[in-house]
Amino acid sequence: MSTAQPLSALSADQLASFRETQQTAYDELKASGLKLDLTRGKPSTEQLDLSNGLLTLPTQVNDASGADTRNYGNLQGIAELREIFAELLWVSPDQLVAGGNSSLTMMKDTLVDLVLFGGVDSPKPWRLEEKVRFICPVPGYDRHHTLLDSLGIEMITVPMTPDGPDADAVAALVADDPTIKGMWLVPTYSNPAGSVCSQDVAAKLAAMPTAAHDFKIFWDNAYAFHHLTEDEVKSADILSLASAAGHPHRPIVFASTSKITFAGAGVAFLAASPEQVKWYLGHLGKGSIGPDKVNQLRHAEFFGNAEGVITHMRRHRDIIAPKFAEVQRVLRERLGGLDVATWTDPVGGYFVSLDVLPGTASRVVELAKAAGVALTPAGASYPYGNDPQDTNIRLAPTYPALAEVTPAMEAVATCVLLAAAEKLSAGGQGR
């Protein structure tokens, strides 16, 4: 449904009629027996099938150096795979670690090592600090927040803009507060807003003065190659920017093939200054004798080179771009012009960020659940699950089939409209 005027401009009688119409539509929705899921940004079966060639690889057991990948050793990962992804991530292969299947595990290990031992530029371990805090751009990634919370690290929010986090707000916070030890940033097609950190913002973050000498930027480049259009955005080269600014140890870059090949059987990467890579491997070596190099070798064979990764990701785009287009179509046709919601139209990544009327996001999720459509909990994109305005909902359309995206989004739109009508009616809206 679309009208020429916002809901807030309706008369009391018009609003009552609108609410009744949406209630009827919602009742019909509940009776239809839907069972749909838009909760997590997972690759679909069709996407996973793109990488089935891995199941017959590798065709040999020795890496380029002649080492047997089935045996112990090579904590940094095999050179041929590091060379492929070093080119894609704008780093030197010597500054890149290829690990297991989870970049989140690498992030956790890095944080734990900083807490227990301090970093290469830390005056003391973070556990000896009276307080440790991190900046979290919002909306952001819930697992980043959960990880910090599990370690007792307090979180401070700054707004995420289309060009990345509000760099002026970040700079103001870190300038005089030594308890702020770092920040999260998904620089390319951020989760969930789809923002791309501009060169200017990245340069400001790399160069800004910080009261904490060992301030870290956790540069989680999870969606670096996950384009939805032919305009394939390039990530800012944060390592070079930071080094040029005199802060070579500030950024730690993370990436993985989780949404490139197999989500549960890929390869994760960490890049940093040479000293910081040595620091990371030194701690990693206390609990590991080496990663799954057979898996790394099959990935190197599967891709062949950096261009192989790019070509592969274009096949992903062909599958998921129509789903994102359908999300936009339904939101535009059902909610456009009513002033009850705004949403992102990302050119990459895995999510659409939907902002509904303040105070209604939880109600939308509740209504959707009762109608058989699972959504990410309201507030999940904010630290501690607390969205102060109760307005943000993360939509993840990649996993369902295209034929399921349409009814799921139609259901979401109905729930948004009903929740908005309830809110406006309760507030005495309507002239």
Residue 168 burial (CB count, 10 A): 12
Closest CA to 202 of 159, 155, 239: 239
Q: What pLDDT is attached to residue 72? A: 98
pLDDT (average), residues 159-183: 99
Q: What pLDDT is attached to residue 429? A: 58
Position 426 confidence tier, pLDDT thresholds 50, 70, 90: confident
Q: Which tokens is 163 given?
A: 């060009």
CB of 132 within 8 A of CB of 150? no
State the residue for tokens 């970093």. Answer: 119
Q: Which tokens is 140 given?
A: 């952001």
Crossing angle of the two packed helices 306-335 and 293-303, in degrees rounded to 10: 80
Q: Which residues 6+ apart lie within 8 Å of 112 measured at CB?
A: 151
- In the chain, the amino acid numbered 232 is E
Each residue of 30-63: pLDDT tens digit?
A: 999 999 999 989 999 999 999 999 999 999 999 9
d(CA 265, CA 259) in angstroms, rounded, equals 10
Strand, helix or coil for residue 255: strand
Q: Which tokens is 14 given?
A: 């018009």
Closest CA to 279 of 118, 156, 415: 118
CB of 159 within 8 A of CB of 138? yes
Strand partners, 227: 348
Say what percent of the chain tops pLDDT 90.
Answer: 97
Closest CA to 238 of 195, 209, 205: 205
- Residues found in the chain: 431
State the residue for tokens 């900083």. Answer: 114
CA–chain centroid gap for 54, Å, is: 25
pLDDT (average), residues 56-84: 98
Asked if the model's pLDDT at residue 189 lies above 70, the reply is yes
* Domains of the chain and any CATH numbers: 7-47+311-426 (3.90.1150.10), 72-306 (3.40.640.10)
Each residue of 94-145: pLDDT tens digit?
A: 999 999 999 999 999 999 999 999 999 999 999 999 999 999 999 999 999 9
Closest CA to 193 of 242, 158, 169, 218: 158
Asked if the model's pLDDT at residue 430 lies above 70, the reply is no
CA–chain centroid gap for 50, Å, is: 22
Position 431 confidence tier, pLDDT thresholds 50, 70, 90: very low
Q: What pLDDT is attached to residue 4? A: 52
User: What is the DSSP track for 289-356?
Assistant: S---HHHHHHHHHHH-SHHHHHHHHHHHHHHHHHHHHHHHHHHHHHHTTSSSEEE---SBSS-EEEEE
pLDDT (average), residues 274-302: 98
Asked if the model's pLDDT at residue 409 lies above 70, the reply is yes
Strand partners, 396: none
pLDDT (average), residues 332-352: 97
Helix (H) or strand (E) holding 275: helix 274-284
Bridge-based pairing of strands 133-138 and 154-161 is parallel
pTM of the model: 0.96
Say what percent of the chain tops pLDDT 70.
Answer: 98
Residue 330 burial (CB count, 10 A): 19
Position 5 confidence tier, pLDDT thresholds 50, 70, 90: confident
CB of 120 within 8 A of CB of 276? yes
pLDDT (average), residues 361-380: 98
CB of 163 within 8 A of CB of 315? no
Q: What pLDDT is attached to residue 1? A: 42
Q: What pLDDT is attached to residue 24? A: 98
Each residue of 213-268: pLDDT tens digit?
A: 999 999 999 999 999 999 999 999 999 999 999 999 999 999 999 999 999 999 99
d(CA 280, CA 249) in angstroms, rounded, equals 12
d(CA 141, CA 154) in angstroms, rounded, equals 15
